[in-house]
Amino acid sequence: MEPSARLCALKINSRKKAPISPISAFTRARNPIKHNVTDKDTKKLTEGLISQVVSRISLSETINVVHALAKNEVEEKVDKMTDEEKEATFKELFEKQV
C-alpha cells in the first residue's frame, strides 16, 4: 500500500466510533446524564411508586388499614355527637327489629 493510501485508510479508521467497553457502559449507568425532572416525570414517578406499594399489600393488611381508618372516623364522629344523638344512634343500632 502506498503511503498516501495508508494515510487515507488511517483517517477513515479514526472516524469510526470505538465500541463501548463494558466499563464505560457501567460508568454511564451509574452516572446517567442528568436532566431536569418535569411535572410529567414527577407524576409518572408518583404513580409508579404508588402502584409498587399497593401491589405489595396483602388482603389482611388492607383490612387492617381500612379498620383503622373506620375506627378513627367513628371515634371522631362520636366525640362530636350530642347525648341525644348518641342515645338515638344507640337505640337504632342495638334495638331488636321485630
DSSP 53-90: HHHT--HHHHHHHHHHHHHHHHHHHHHHS-HHHHHHHH
**Tell me, what amino acid is at 78?**
V
Q: Determine, yes or no, domain membership for 93.
A: yes
Over residues 34-76, the pLDDT tens digits come to 678 899 999 999 999 999 988 888 899 999 999 999 999 999 9
User: What residues make up the domain containing 64?
Assistant: 58-98
9 contact partners, CB below 8 Å, separation of at least 6: 1
Q: Determine, yes or no, domain membership for 68.
A: yes
Q: Determine, yes or no, domain membership for 37.
A: no
Number of H helices, E strands in the chain: 5, 0
- The reported pTM is 0.43
Place of cell 409508579: 48
